[in-house]
Structure 1
Amino acid sequence: MFQWEMWFSGGGVRAHFQDTCSRPVQNLRAGRLRRTGTQKLRVSRRSTDFEVSMVQIDLLAPDAPAATRAPHPLWACGFRPFFLVAAIFAVVAVPWWATIFARGLSVATGWSALSWHGHEMIFGFALAVIAGFLLTAVQNWTKGVTAQGPWLMALVALWVAGRVAMSGVWEPGILGAILDLSFVPALAVAIGRPLRATKNRRNYAFVAMLGALFVMNLLMHLASLGAPVGGERLWLLASLDLVVVMMLVVGGRVIPMFTSNATGVAVRKPTWLEKALVTFVGLSIASQIALGLGAQSLRWVAIASSALAGVAVIARMVGWGTRATLKVPLLWVLHAGHAWIGVGFLLRAAAYLWPQVSSAMATHAITVGAVGMLTLGMMARVALGHTGRPLKAHASLGWAFALLGVAALGRTFLPMIAPALLAGAWPGYYVGFVSFSAALWAVAFLIYAVVYLPVLTRPRVDGRPG
């Protein structure tokens, strides 16, 4: 329904619509118009002609905001740029680290090379994937906007600035530390605003975990500057444990759901087991930090809680229908990644008891195995689902998942079994294994980057925004 309306000072006038009809318009007064369209007409009053504009009013439609130009698809939703930069970073950073390790090079950060490598894999690679996931998931949970267009560009630019500052080519200094530290608070604000606006208290924990990651990163920087806050490695491992907690929370929600939706199997999630898992993982993390600060009396608490956490992680998968996923790459990669968390906790406990098991084995079971496979699997699935595509992996993605699994096995277990077999014949076997695993990792993420570049940079195939 439309009405033609004009406000004009003076008495009665007669208006003539040149292309529609003639009608009298009386007692028009000066006023204000909302423009949805214009129409030229001629107004006659006494002997003088005036040409004015009539305004078309839509009486049924509510006031609409001014039209805004849609952003390029790459900047339409958080997963798009962050999954892409995470994949590129994975392809470049890990081989770069393997080169540094093989040649005994140093990095100009003021940190040890190992601490720098670990920091960049957590606060560079893993955090980019976490950012892409949370910006997308929170938008889905709240139906509000987290970051898109220029704001999303700024967030990505902040992440890139942190990586440049921490590249190891020069001393980051205070400015570099600020750039590196700024990304997590910015991400927390981006997801926190819609969560708060919608009172989505169930997911406030993600903002809290981001806050804890910021504190761990700050402590690492302070330790590198000589502050008496403990060593860099202590807070590096604590940061990794926080990432593990995020993976356990998200994995516990989505892996059973994805499995049930795709295979039809009935999944089980016993409440008592979930509570036990929270208890054991919490004790393991707390005791690890306490041991790092010198509380050696908690050694057996760390051993027991880590072992029980590993058992609980694997036990929770018993009711998830893992067997039904073996022919579905987008599912089995998630199950495998989750299982690696359990393996990592078990190896962490074993490292206290047997010299043949090193703490590095536990760390790489979690990083290469769990973080690598879960991030690659989620990046593949989320990108398909949120661009309107069928949830079916490209054939090459199955190979990427398999290569990453081999990289995790090699990086975790070969250093334990190789000394007895290769020490005499191949003195440099350890460096060789590191380089081999790094190459497989890089190829896996390169496959993702190549296959998903058009997916991440083109509009949704169903025409919906995002």
Structure 2
Amino acid sequence: MKTNSLPIFSEVKAAAQMQKGMPFLRLGFRPFYVGGALLAALIVPLWVAMFLGQLPLTPAVPPLLWHAHEMLFGFAVAIIVGFLLTAGKAWTGLATPRGAWLGGLAVLWLAARVASLLGPYALYAVLDMALLPLVAAILLTLLLRARNYRNLPLALILALLASANLFFHLAAMGALNLPAITPLYAGLALIVMIECVMAGRVIPAFTMAVTPGLKLIATVWVERVTLGATGLGLALWVFAPNGVVSLLVLALASVLHLKRLASWRPALTVKRPILWILHAAYAWIPVGLGLLALAQIGLVPVSSGVHALAVGATGGLIIGMITRTARGHTGRPLKASNPEVLAYALVMTAAVLRVLLPLLAPGLLGVSLIAAAVVWSAAFLIYLWQFTPWLMSTRLDGKDG
């Protein structure tokens, strides 16, 4: 009896040791989801107040650039980092940063956000440029050690995001003869590519998991053409805009994404909010690419396509994934509560108000900005209200993580 009980005792002891320390710092999603959601709730109302002249606040860079940068490299990057530091453990079976190491990464991210408003520009730039290279190196090391070559492109995209951020700061300081908005467009394009890759993996898989008998089999060459056209179209938009070629490639990518979404059978998800939000958010990718295509010949403002991708697609996919993954990694059922469904609806409403209302009624731009800011902020405040206590507590099932 004693001999047989030793392995069990060792496993229990090891599990107990792994669970030592603050629950908030056991996996990357915990601090970065809370930080990202808090920034999302605050930053948009702050920007609108500055834009309308109601808040005499002077950020480290001009307000428009500050808003765009912080939405991408503050909000979206926080969620991406939290997701990858969590998924990396599942993909490789290796430990990702936790405890003081994870806390240090989170504090570094937070310090950059504070410095963007209150610190000198040099401090802001140094702090802001430090996080992505660190996380890219961590992820690359894990993937190489585990020989998980399938996910290496994600580490590459993180490195490219870090490069875009570097070019932004060099341009903002005048050290690079480049419009500072160009690296920000490149950052958005890279984030959209991450979304396209990850959505192609998880959305059809999630849909099949809850639909008995459903088989969604992607055609490899169609997937490659879709992603290739998207990458090329976004690259042309960033580096060679306002041309017929960029218009045609972006339009092709938009159509291919519509076909891709239709093949995932979104109508089957209408009674499952935790799933339909991912389909609904993904629908903004073809909308955004289509609007960017029209912007190449001046039919719509570039900002319409940018915000379709940034608010509708990125915001929608983020609110969907940070609820789903946080539920799963805290040992809770994958079923959205009423407050979560309201948060989903509010983010989608924010996209409609910010993108479509100004196109239909340009004179209502100010109203649309205020209304979109209110509902966007409310969505992430709902997330914080429900999920912050969960993310600061141990898992319900007693497991580590």
Q: Moved runs in structure 1, 4+ residues, more than 4 A?
A: 58-69, 104-107
Q: Does the 8 Å contact 2:196/2:227 carry over to 1?
A: no
Aligned counterpart in structure 1 of residue 227 of structure 2, from 275, 278, 292? 278
RMSD (CA atoms): 2.3
| d(CA) in 2 for partners of 1:230, 1:331 | 41
| 2:114 equivalent in structure 1 | 164
Aligned counterpart in structure 1 of residue 197 of structure 2, from 233, 244, 249? 249
Q: Does the 8 Å contact 1:310/1:345 carry over to 2?
A: yes
Distance 1:246 1:329, change over 3 A: same
SS in 1 for 2:361: helix
Shift of 1:77: 0.8
Aligned counterpart in structure 1 of residue 368 of structure 2, from 433, 447, 456? 433
Counterpart AA for 2:142: P
Aligned counterpart in structure 1 of residue 251 of structure 2, from 297, 303, 307? 307
Which of 118-127 and 195-204 deviates more? Answer: 195-204
Q: Does the 8 Å contact 1:266/1:321 carry over to 2?
A: no
Q: Does the 8 Å contact 2:167/2:176 carry over to 1?
A: no
| d(CA) in 2 for partners of 1:232, 1:408 | 25
Distance 1:129 1:204, change over 3 A: same
| d(CA) in 2 for partners of 1:60, 1:79 | 30
TM-score when normalising by structure 1: 0.81
Flag the structure with higher strand content: 1
Q: Which has the higher contact order (CA 8 A, sep 6+)?
A: 2
| 2:384 equivalent in structure 1 | 449
| d(CA) in 2 for partners of 1:60, 1:122 | 47
Q: Does the 8 Å contact 1:2/1:59 carry over to 2?
A: no
Is structure 2 residue 342 aligned with structure 1 residue 399? yes
Q: Does the 8 Å contact 1:77/1:135 carry over to 2?
A: yes
Distance 1:290 1:336, change over 3 A: same
SS in 2 for 1:461: coil
Q: Does the 8 Å contact 1:101/1:431 carry over to 2?
A: no
| 1:40 equivalent in structure 2 | none
| d(CA) in 2 for partners of 1:229, 1:108 | 24
Which of 248-257 and 258-267 deviates more? Answer: 258-267
The CA deviation string for residues 101-125 of structure 1, in whole angstroms up to 9 with x for no partner, is 1117676455332111000000000
The CA deviation string for residues 416-463 of structure 1, in whole angstroms up to 9 with x for no partner, is 1114xxx4xxxxx31221011010000011111111122211111111
Shift of 1:379: 0.2
Is structure 2 residue 21 aligned with structure 1 residue 77? no
Q: Does the 8 Å contact 2:60/2:119 carry over to 1?
A: no
The CA deviation string for residues 310-360 of structure 1, in whole angstroms up to 9 with x for no partner, is 1111111122121110111110100011110110000000112343x1111
Counterpart AA for 2:91: W
| d(CA) in 1 for partners of 2:254, 2:8 | 61
| 2:61 equivalent in structure 1 | 111
Q: Which runs of 5+ in 2 are unaligned?
A: none
| 1:206 equivalent in structure 2 | 154
Which of 312-321 and 441-450 deviates more? Answer: 312-321
Q: Does the 8 Å contact 1:403/1:444 carry over to 2?
A: yes
Distance 1:59 1:219, change over 3 A: closer
Q: Does the 8 Å contact 1:195/1:201 carry over to 2?
A: yes
| 1:349 equivalent in structure 2 | 293
| d(CA) in 2 for partners of 1:372, 1:96 | 17
Counting only pairs closer than 5 Å after superposition, residues 116-155 of structure 1 correspond to structure 2 as: 116-155=66-105
Aligned counterpart in structure 2 of residue 323 of structure 1, from 267, 270, 281? 267
The count of aligned residue pairs is 396
| 1:234 equivalent in structure 2 | 182
| d(CA) in 1 for partners of 2:400, 2:135 | 22
Shift of 1:156: 0.3
Shift of 1:189: 2.4
| 2:393 equivalent in structure 1 | 458
| d(CA) in 2 for partners of 1:390, 1:60 | 28
Distance 1:416 1:73, change over 3 A: same
Q: Does the 8 Å contact 1:71/1:148 carry over to 2?
A: no
Counterpart AA for 1:377: G
TM-score when normalising by structure 2: 0.93
Is structure 2 residue 234 aligned with structure 1 residue 291? no
Shift of 1:161: 1.1
Is structure 2 residue 334 aligned with structure 1 residue 386? no
| d(CA) in 2 for partners of 1:342, 1:59 | 54
Is structure 2 residue 320 aligned with structure 1 residue 377? yes
Aligned counterpart in structure 1 of residue 131 of structure 2, from 180, 183, 187? 183
Structure (1 or 2) with the larger CA radius of gyration: 1
The CA deviation string for residues 5-29 of structure 1, in whole angstroms up to 9 with x for no partner, is xxxxxxxxxxxxxxxxxxxxxxxxx
Q: Does the 8 Å contact 2:32/2:81 carry over to 1?
A: yes
Is structure 2 residue 279 aligned with structure 1 residue 335? yes
